């Protein structure tokens, strides 16, 4: 979806919101440094502040479905649960990916089969 949106005519930004108030993906057709200024990084307001910054510079943006990023022990546990235990995260109805290399790394890390 992100690649498709970025291939369309016109400038735009694509944001993939994560359940923690940030984002798991950001895609841009052109660099817009101003959209990263005055953001309260590592807080639950990163996504909303980034959206406001994008609006203030007048660039179109598209939002992808909610997902998660892995940046702490809790979200690593979500990833492990998804890839090893085959449990879909409760906050989404989207199917995940097999992510075979990530799954192998996690299995090696905890000695799972």
CA 90 to chain centre: 16
Q: Do 1 and 64 contact (CB within 8 A), yes or no? A: yes
- Residue 91's pLDDT is what? 87
Summarised one tens digit per residue, pLDDT across range 40-93 is 999 999 999 999 999 999 999 999 999 999 989 999 999 999 999 999 999 888
pTM score, whole prediction: 0.84
pLDDT at residue number 94:
84
Per-residue confidence (pLDDT) for residue 112, from 0 to 100:
58
Which pLDDT belongs to residue 110?
81
Amino acid 101: pLDDT:
96
- 6 to each of 2, 10, 25, 88, how far by Cα in Å? 6, 9, 13, 28
Residue 2 and residue 34: Cα distance in Å, rounded?
21
Whole-angstrom distance, CA of residue 27 vs CA of residue 11: 11
């Amino acid at each position: 979806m992100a690649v498709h949106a970025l291939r369309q005519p016109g400038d735009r930004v694509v944001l993939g919101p994560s359940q923690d108030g940030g984002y798991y993906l950001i895609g841009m057709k052109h660099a817009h440094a101003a959209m990263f200024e005055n953001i309260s990084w590592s807080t639950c307001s990163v996504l909303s502040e980034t959206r406001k910054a994008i609006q203030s510079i007048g660039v179109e943006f598209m939002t992808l479905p909610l997902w998660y990023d892995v940046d702490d022990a809790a979200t690593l546990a979500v990833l492990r649960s998804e890839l090893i235990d085959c449990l879909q995260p409760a906050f989404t109805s989207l199917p995940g990916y097999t992510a075979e290399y990530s799954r192998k790394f996690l299995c090696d890390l905890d000695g799972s089969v």
